[in-house]
Amino acid sequence: MLKSSSKSGLVYSTDGGRMCPECRHPVAECVCKTMAKTQPAGDGVVRVLLEKKGRGGKSVTVVKGVALDAAGVAALGKQLRAACGSGGTVKDGVIEIQGDHCERVIEALKKSGHSVKRAGG
């Protein structure tokens, strides 16, 4: 007895060759990878936390979970650093701002329309 699954189906076709099991298009015309790039990862909630560990005792405000592309995250990081009057960086989609600026960052993110939560202690 065969189990029915949402991913079962046509794997090879003489018309198009190998078929993608997700979108059911020929592999050459697969749209799964482009769809994955356009959908941001995460649950849509931006988390702001304060980190001190591994930084020589210095405080760093960390912003995670921003649902933007790399250029958008970099622009938001620049805007937040200017709002705080502090330095910082953007690494792997995570914005780091030097110093304890959690409240200012939360206010700035709420003004720009993001759903924000304070994370950590």
| pLDDT tens across the length of the chain (121 residues) | 444 455 555 555 566 677 777 777 777 777 776 665 555 556 778 899 999 888 888 999 999 988 888 888 899 999 999 999 999 999 888 999 999 999 999 999 999 888 889 988 6
How far is Cα 17 from Cα 7, in angstroms, rounded to an integer?
18
Supply the pTM of this predicted model: 0.64
- Reported in sequence order, the residue ranges of the chain that DSSP labels E, i.e. its strands, are 12-13, 17-18, 45-51, 60-64, 88-91, 94-98, 115-118
For the domain spanning 45-118, the CATH number is 3.30.780.10
Where exactly does CATH 3.30.780.10 map onto the chain? 45-118
